[in-house]
Amino acid sequence: MIKWLYRIGVENMRKKIFRLGVHLLMFVSFFSFGFLLVNAQDKVQSISYKKLFDVSLKDGYESFQGMTITDKYIIIAMIKNDNSKSALFVYDKNSYNLVNLENMQNPIETYDIGHANDMTFNKEKNEVYIIKGNEIVVIDSETFNQKESIPLSNSYGGITLNKDKQFIFQKNNKIYIMKDNVVQNEFDAITNLTHQNISYFNGNIFHTCYEYGKVGLYQPVYDGVYEAGTNLIYVYDESGNQENILFIPTGYGEIEALEFDENGIPFVLFNSPDKYGTVYIPIYNDAVVKISVSDESTTDDSTASLVDKNGNIETVNIKDGVYNFQDLVYYEPGVYEYFVLKSINNLERTSDESIRVTVKVTYDATTNQLIANSEYEKSGFTKDEVIETPIVPGNTSNEILEEEIVENPQTGNYFPFYILPIILGAGLVFVLFKRKFFFKL
């Protein structure tokens, strides 16, 4: 009798333990799945910057806001302490010095541009568009005269132009792509962070955000995912697909604006709590290419030379039917041209025995990489055959002052949380199966 009661007690206890284990496993599974969703943004690419120049606030002004880049100038907005009005600083694009404007003070304080949270440049019309809630203030980018105000059907916080010169707006967690002032496409840009500005380059929309990190007007909830003081750049294509997330560690300040120059280099404006701002550009790797040309028509003592536009020459001997030149390293975007000139038995080079090589170096802002591609135009070698040019990743060797760099944090070594729901789900199925099987016995 006692053994029977003992067996019943043990059996009931075993059932309770199983139920408790199953419930606990289900809770942990759902929790980890939710944790996965919340922390999916943790899979980001870290990025560091080098400083270009500082900007100081004028007395009576609180912080810097929007920025844009024209053919000649970098234009930066600052807002008054009472948020009643904004002014524009105009800096020379090459020297980063304040420009002496004709018949105008610099900064320009005559505009009615509100908060001036974001602005963009239309190269075709030489116009700067500044978003002011439910209107766009249009300014001539040469004379800086205010031309007109374009009313909008809604109020927006961010503005940019796509390749077709159609407006793109941002409002809260939405991005709107317009066509003839009608919404053509819209998509979610959901984040708990403080929205800053949007910019466009090469088919992608760059949405800057700041981890305010405390209760505030523009970020009432601290999501706790990122360290307070960090910044993010969300990258979307025009269909709303997220291409990447660029992570900016603490130390730079609050990101206010990101705008591209003609080479696709993003200039980034940060606010400092010490009443000044700083404009940075990203640090990226060098690009390396190798130029090789084969020639079956020459002897083993033949040479060829690689000549650039400055007359710099590298001469090599043919080896196994191939002229292999040293790696070419590039630090900046641009188009670089060379000629491979052939010399047989060290005789004088002749221009009719040449191959033109064009190397196009571009910056990919989506991945923060410098990319080089080469094109060969064959014009003189007999039976020549161009070898595919390998693209070799380079090392960061930009000469940068140490104090201007804020180093990357240790990122990318994340625990693969996406595995947890799989493991726990499999464990749950296993436990339920064993439990069912056990009570059949």
The Cα diameter of the chain in Å comes to: 113
Residues 181, 119 within the same domain: yes
- Give the number of other Cβ atoms within 10 Å of residue 13's Cβ: 10
Residues 139, 271 within the same domain: yes
Question: What's the domain range around 144?
Answer: 45-282
Residues 307, 337 within the same domain: yes
pLDDT of amino acid 117 = 93
Tally of residues, the chain: 441
Per residue in 68-80, pLDDT (tens digit) is 999 999 999 999 9
Work out the average pLDDT over 221-231.
70
Residues 147, 96 within the same domain: yes
Q: Domain total for the chain?
A: 3
Per residue in 175-185, pLDDT (tens digit) is 999 987 789 99
Output the DSSP codes for 48-91: -EEEEEEEEPPTTEEEEEEEEE-SSEEEEEEEETTSS-EEEEEE
Q: Is residue 352 situated within a structural domain? A: yes
Tokens of 271: 């606010």
pLDDT-based confidence at residue 43 (cuts at 50, 70, 90)? low
Rounded CA-CA distance 14/4 in Å is 15
Rounded CA-CA distance 117/106 in Å is 19
Rounded CA-CA distance 51/279 in Å is 6
Per residue in 247-286, pLDDT (tens digit) is 998 889 999 999 999 989 999 999 987 778 999 999 998 9
Pair 29, 248: CB distance under 8 Å: no
Rounded CA-CA distance 267/246 in Å is 14
Residue 284: which of 349, 216, 198, 371 has the closest Cα?
Answer: 371
Q: Is residue 402 situated within a structural domain? A: no
Domain endpoint, select from 245, 263, 282: 282
Tokens of 212: 């305010």
Mean pLDDT of the chain: 78
pLDDT of amino acid 211 = 83
Q: Is residue 27 situated within a structural domain? A: yes
Residues 266, 204 within the same domain: yes
Rounded CA-CA distance 327/121 in Å is 38
Residues 34, 62 within the same domain: no
Residues 325, 263 within the same domain: no
Rounded CA-CA distance 306/289 in Å is 14
DSSP H or E stretch at residue 8:
helix 2-38
Per residue in 342-377, pLDDT (tens digit) is 754 444 444 446 788 899 999 999 999 999 988 887
Tokens of 199: 């910019």
Residues 333, 188 within the same domain: no
Output the DSSP codes for 118-183: -EEEETTTTEEEEE-EEEEEEEETTT--EEEEEEEEEEESEEEE-TTS-EEEEETTEEEEEETTEE
Residues with Cβ within 8 Å of residue 39, at least 6 apart in sequence: 225, 417
Residues with Cβ within 8 Å of residue 64, at least 6 apart in sequence: 55, 57, 76, 77, 78, 79, 256, 269, 271, 277
Domain endpoint, select from 248, 266, 282: 282
Single pTM value for the model: 0.74
For the cut 70, the answer to whether the pLDDT of residue 191 exceeds it is yes
pLDDT of amino acid 408 = 37
Residues 224, 321 within the same domain: no
pLDDT of amino acid 223 = 54
Q: Is residue 409 situated within a structural domain? A: no
Q: Is residue 405 situated within a structural domain? A: no
Work out the average pLDDT over 228-235.
90
Output the DSSP codes for 173-191: TEEEEEETTEEEEEEE---
For the cut 70, the answer to whether the pLDDT of residue 129 exceeds it is yes
Residues with Cβ within 8 Å of residue 415, at least 6 apart in sequence: none
pLDDT-based confidence at residue 16 (cuts at 50, 70, 90)? low
pLDDT of amino acid 429 = 56
Residues 79, 33 within the same domain: no
Pair 142, 122: CB distance under 8 Å: no
Q: Is residue 270 situated within a structural domain? A: yes
